[in-house]
Amino acid sequence: MEFKDYYKILGLERAASDAEIKSAYRKLARKFHPDLNPNNKEAERRFKEINEAYQVLGEAEKRRKYDQLGADWEHGASEDEILRRYAAAGAAGARPGAGPRWAGAGGMSDFFEQFFGFGGAPFGAGAAGAGARGGPFGFGAAERPARAPDVTAEVAIPLEEAVRGGRRRIELAAQDECPRCGGTGMVAREERQGKLRVIRSAHPCAQCGGAGMIPARRTLEVSIPAGVSEGTRIRLKGQGGRGARPELNGDLFLVVRFEPHSVFAVSGRDLRCQLPVWDYEAALGAEVTAPTMDGKISLKIPAGSQGGRVLRLRGRGIPGRGSEHAGDLLYELKILAPTDMTAEERSLMEQLADKRRARGVADPRAELIRG
């Protein structure tokens, strides 16, 4: 995919005016016209080059695009992006069994066809219309380097870390800039012409296949703020997809997930705990030891508590963050009956049952069997 210097083909300097371009084209077109040079292959080749050069330099917008990709990289807004797309177009253009690009009177160079998107349309009739479709570079959007995409990943943390905050080291599968081509996706041969760099030829980078990126593992130190809830998105600026320049890198969004906890379940910012109590503790009332995320507390069980009753400690769940209030710590009572009673304890339990029957205590199942 040789880069053609259209100014050189027309014998012009890059600062040539539109009138000078038109004059040079007419003069050379007459000189190398096939009708004036029958059976002259070299004249035919030169005539095609001259037409191709004028199709670009003779139209202001196409000339501007050509100048950006061509020798004057200092005025091009997106060298790396254009190089990457140019390399990808080159790889796609190598089609098995495809005929030479110069076949026929209207054939064009690889650079001309892939950059301006004429698709081999003949000069004169239909060339302008074909060019209006736009080439594979997608000019308009591609003239400015595109911001790399954001990346989303999940990070699983212990519940204690959500409550207290902390730091974690995580490893992510990533895409990093190819070291061989510098992220351009191509290896180019260039020449210096004064202050200008002229790309003479290019081919897709063998290491990254023209993509400009290679698979990599990335290790990051992540700060987990206290009070994150499940589903919280932590933004790491510039740690997402790699752009042509660091400021064009995408962001990494880590979605927080909680690891299962042996004691507490999570509901929003509330923490729930099933708290076992003996039947006599529930019946008589008691003060029991209960767990929290910060240690142990003494919790009062009201007399006559039933299984499923919920006791609430306000503000003892996951801490508030921003405008969100702290969650609560909820204890759901789970009533346990003794299973390892001594003979004396069993006798006392039987006496209690007899006394309650004698007092006519209602059958707790009466509502279920009422017909």
**Phi and psi torsions of 26, nearest 5°:** -60, -40
pLDDT number for residue 109: 57
Amino acid at 124: G
CA–CA–CA angle 48, 200, 146 (5° rounding): 105
Q: How far is CA 180 from CA 125, 145, 184, 206, 291, in A?
A: 43, 20, 9, 9, 57
List, run by run, the mean pLDDT of 10-residue segments along the chain (371 residues).
77 89 88 84 89 87 76 42 50 40 42 48 37 37 62 90 90 76 74 68 80 81 91 90 78 93 95 96 96 95 96 95 92 95 94 93 86 61
The pLDDT assigned to 270 comes to 96
Question: What was the pLDDT predicted at 265?
Answer: 96
Q: What is the pLDDT of residue 335?
A: 96
pLDDT averaged over every residue in the chain: 78
What pLDDT was estimated at residue 281?
Answer: 96
Domains of the chain with bracketed CATH: 6-131 (1.10.287.110), 151-258 (2.60.260.20), 265-369 (2.60.260.20)
Six-digit token string for 192: 């210096």
